[in-house]
Every structure is written in structure tokens, then in C-alpha cells.
Amino acid sequence: MYNFKNDYSEGTHPNIINKLVETNLLQQSGYGEDAYSIAAKERLQQQLNNSEAAIYFVSGGTQANLLVISATLRIHEAVISAETGHIFAHETGAIEAIGHRVITVTTTDGKLSPKAIQTVLTDYSLRPHVVKPKLVYISNSTEIGTIYSKKELQELSACCKAHQLILFMDGARLGHALTAENNDLTLADLSKLTDVFYIGGTKNGALLEEAIVFNSPDLAPEFDYVLKQKGALLAKGRILGIQFLELFKDNLYFDLAKHANRMAGKIATAIQENGYSFLTPPVTNQLFPILPQSLIKQLSEKYVFYEWKVMDDQHSVVRLITSWATDEHMVDELIHDLNTWHR
């Protein structure tokens, strides 16, 4: 059985594991004060072209989301998210558990627009009987594989500024977004257009790690307290520093994401050539093809993947994911099987 179910079924890129071995017995300060973490933050600041950015390494996406939101919102303030947003759909009420409503917007592409924001603001205007929308949560790439264009993000950013809303981008799959074919955004753009975002490592070559970036340090000047309070400050922060040091050396982070996207692209082409369509257009490393249930059954005997939703009596959407570690031979085999079994 080969896994196309998620992008975290392998360990970590060899450069990282090798560096962990190499530095293993060197003594370092704890709690993120180690030399690797400090160097990794400097390296990121350079890539962001923002020497003021306040950067914190944490171990996962749910943690990153709840930390950022708990540190930036007041108790009566709420988050706006697409209904497909990870914080609403797959994080066990983590945001509500820290006291905030997630106001959802129904979308077809998983993305938020200024118009959607404006509608929420209108719906939530009966002060003080309703929560106050204050933070806009978006994902890039989204949970259904789509990405934001520079123009879309600029418009959203302007809308947020106009309404004094915090713009927060979940970048669990940011590498895949920024290396997608039609992408025109850079890390440095994100540092200007969002208030806070994070760069996902876990799904792009790291063992565990997301780098939270506050583009303005004023947004959460005491975030270190929050990290510790929520159990997110690792004693051996060195392992986080080492991972991002390696990922952001010689473009590795982007090369890994490109590989994942290229693998997905090959599969997408084969699917299209066999005449199948998609729930959302194939752009990054997540594919949502609509397939006959008979074919799904056959595929599932050899490949692991996620059955996303039933479309009709005979068709369902499945989710196929590739990663930095996806073996091209297995991709070719999948394509061969698709071509063969389809007939």
C-alpha cells in the first residue's frame, strides 16, 4: 500500500536528520535560546526582507493557530474563516476553547474575499449583542488546494486595514502555494500584506515545526509568555531551530514543495486525460478528483487516500496528496493503474 492520504507519512528530509545527528551532543541553551534557533530566525528575516519580524517556532498547525489567536484577540472578539478553514473544520474547537467564536463563510474555493468580510461585518453589527469580528483567518494554500493571487491578497489586506481587522494566514502548506505554477506571491509579500502568518514545515520536510511570523512585533509583544502558558515552548528548542536552518538553506524549502506540486501535476494530468473532473482545479499538492466509485474501490486496494465526499450514486470525490517525499516511481505506477483500470 502506498500513501497518498497525507503529507506527513514520512519522517524528515535527510539534510535535517543529518544535521540533528551532527549537532546531537553539543550543549545548547534551552527554550529557544539556542544558537540554531537564533540563526534560523535571522535567515528567515532576510528571506522576508523584514528585520523587525518577530518569529517563533512551534510544533504544529493547531498549536500555531490557537497561540496566535489567543495572543491577539480580546475576549469579545471573533475570527472570520471559510467554513472549510482548518480552525473550523478540523481542530476540535481549539479556538472556541480559548474563548472565541469562529464566524464562518460558505465558499466554493476555500478563499475569503472583501465582499464576504463586508457581509460578516454587516451581520455582526448589533453591538453589544453579538461578538465583534476582529481577525480574518485564511489559509494558503487552502484546505481544498486553491491559492491566493497577489491581487486577491492585496485587496483582502486593504479591506482588513480599512476595518481594523487583523489578517492572519495559516501557511501549513505555504511552500506548495508559493511554488504553484500560477503563484505570484513571495514570502516578502506576505510580510507586507498580512499581519501575522506561519510557514509550515511539518508538511514540507520537517519532523515537526511551523514558524509563526508577526510582521509587526507590536501585534503581540509578549507572545513568549503565551507560548509557555499553552505548553508550546519546547525545552529542546534546538530541534526546531535546526530544522528551519536546513529548510531555508539553498532554497530547499521551495525545492521540496515544487517536487510535491510536480508529482501532483503528473497525477492531475493523467486524471484529466482519462476524462475525470475535479472539485477544485488542481493547483498544488492536494487533488480532489471526482471518480467513479468502482475505480475508487480498485485504487483503494493498492493506495491509501481519503474519501472526501459522495457526489452521487456512482461518484465520489477523493483527496490525493503528494509531498516532498513522494516517490516518482509510485506516481508513475498510479498513473499506469489509472490509465489501465479506467478502460
Among residues 26 and 188, whose Cβ is nearest to a copy of itself? Answer: 26
The x, y and z cell numbers of residue 320, run together, are: 490525493
Each as own residue / partner, the long-range contacts of residues 17-26 (CB below 8 Å, 24 or more positions apart, any chain) are: 19/242, 19/245, 19/246, 20/239, 20/242, 23/238, 23/242
Residue-wise DSSP of 26-92: S---STT-SHHHHHHHHHHHHHHT-TT-EEEEES-HHHHHHHHHHHH--TTEEEEEETT-HHHHSST
Ramachandran angles phi, psi of 43, nearest 5°:
-60, -40
Site for a copy of itself (CB under 8 A): which residue of 40, 53, 55, 66? 66
Q: Which of residues 86-145 bind a copy of itself (CB under 8 A)?
A: 89-94, 96-102, 126-132
Q: Are 283 and 180 in contact (CB under 8 A)?
A: yes
Q: Are 173 and 197 in contact (CB under 8 A)?
A: no
Taking CB under 8 A as the rule, does residue 235 contact a copy of itself?
yes
- HEC assignment per residue over 63-74: HHHHHHHHHHCC
Q: How far apart are CA 71 and CA 74, in angstroms?
A: 8
Among residues 136 and 232, whose Cβ is nearest to a copy of itself? Answer: 232
Q: What is the DSSP letter of 131?
A: -
Query: Minimum CB separation from a copy of itself for residue 182, in Å?
Result: 28
Among residues 36 and 253, whose Cβ is nearest to a copy of itself? Answer: 36
Taking CB under 8 A as the rule, does residue 62 contact a copy of itself?
yes
Site for a copy of itself (CB under 8 A): which residue of 35, 38, 47, 60? 60
Among residues 91 and 246, whose Cβ is nearest to a copy of itself? Answer: 91
Query: Minimum CB separation from a copy of itself for residue 203, in Å?
Result: 7
Site for a copy of itself (CB under 8 A): which residue of 74, 164, 182, 340? 74
Query: Minimum CB separation from a copy of itself for residue 296, in Å?
Result: 19
Site for a copy of itself (CB under 8 A): which residue of 178, 185, 234, 299? 234
Query: Minimum CB separation from a copy of itself for residue 258, in Å?
Result: 19
Q: How far apart are CA 21 and CA 271, in angstroms?
A: 41
Q: Which of residues 14-33 bind a copy of itself (CB under 8 A)?
A: 14, 17, 20-21, 23-30
Query: Minimum CB separation from a copy of itself for residue 1, in Å?
Result: 8
Q: Which of residues 272-331 bind a copy of itself (CB under 8 A)?
A: 325
Among residues 208 and 335, whose Cβ is nearest to a copy of itself? Answer: 208
Looking up cell 471559510 gives 82
Query: Minimum CB separation from a copy of itself for residue 123, in Å?
Result: 10
CA 49 to chain centre: 21
CA angle 210, 174, 95 (to 5 degrees): 55
Taking CB under 8 A as the rule, does residue 232 contact a copy of itself?
yes
Among residues 50 and 139, whose Cβ is nearest to a copy of itself? Answer: 139
Applying CB under 8 A, the span of 217-225, 246-254, 270-278, 283-291 interacting with a copy of itself comes to 217-225
Taking CB under 8 A as the rule, does residue 208 contact a copy of itself?
yes
Taking CB under 8 A as the rule, does residue 216 contact a copy of itself?
no
Among residues 59 and 157, whose Cβ is nearest to a copy of itself? Answer: 59
Number of residues forming the site for a copy of itself (CB under 8 A): 76
Q: How far apart are CA 197 and CA 135, in angstroms?
A: 12
Please state, as a whole number, how many other Cβ atoms lie within 10 Å of the Cβ of residue 26. Answer: 10
Rg (CA), the chain: 20
